[in-house]
């Protein structure tokens, strides 16, 4: 079995942002040489997420609005007593996924209709990274 590890780095322009990373992950899969296997894509920060959904601007706005309703900024979060002010970002990241596993078939990410992989950032505008680990034959 082959394994290949690579990293993606992002500095978002906004505090909260959703970025389609499908092409970048597919490029890593192609470089790995794996034709049949899986790709693990994982956010390496506790205020970010990785998830699969549709590439459509309305649904991405809906995700951010929904997350804000469920985990709004609140100065009274216990986490803020540590000197941080990003308690809402920690909560928002839990609403999405920390990581995903994507099948690889014939050297390509094997998605269902409309599926893409996304990086969700909830405490951005600073350098963050994602690990992509490809495993298979």
Q: What is the CATH number of the domain that holds 104?
A: 2.60.120.460
**Residue 14 pLDDT class (50, 70, 90 cuts):** very high
For the chain, give the percent of residues with pLDDT over 90. Answer: 99
Measured in degrees and rounded to the nearest 5, phi and psi for residue 46 equal -80, 0
What is the span of the domain harbouring residue 110?
2-136
Which run of H or of E encompasses 3?
strand 2-10
**Residue 113 pLDDT class (50, 70, 90 cuts):** very high
How many domains does the chain contain in total? 1
- The pLDDT tens digits of the residues spanning 44-55 come to 999 999 999 999
Average predicted confidence (pLDDT) for the chain: 97
Q: Stretch 55-61: mean pLDDT, rounded?
A: 97
Check residue 116 and give its pLDDT: 98
pTM: 0.96
């Amino acid at each position: 079995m082959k394994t290949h590890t690579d990293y993606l780095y992002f500095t978002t322009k906004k505090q909260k942002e959703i970025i389609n990373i499908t092409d970048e992950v597919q490029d890593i899969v192609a470089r790995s040489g794996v034709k049949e296997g899986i790709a693990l894509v994982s956010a390496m920060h506790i205020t970010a997420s990785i998830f699969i959904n549709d590439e459509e601007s309305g649904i991405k706005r809906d995700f951010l609005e929904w997350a804000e309703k469920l985990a709004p900024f609140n100065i009274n979060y216990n986490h803020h007593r540590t000197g941080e002010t990003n308690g809402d970002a920690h909560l928002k990241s839990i609403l999405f996924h920390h990581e995903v596993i994507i099948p690889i078939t014939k050297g390509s990410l094997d998605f269902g209709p409309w599926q893409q992989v996304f990086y969700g950032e909830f405490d951005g505008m600073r350098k963050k990274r994602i690990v992509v680990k490809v495993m298979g034959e």
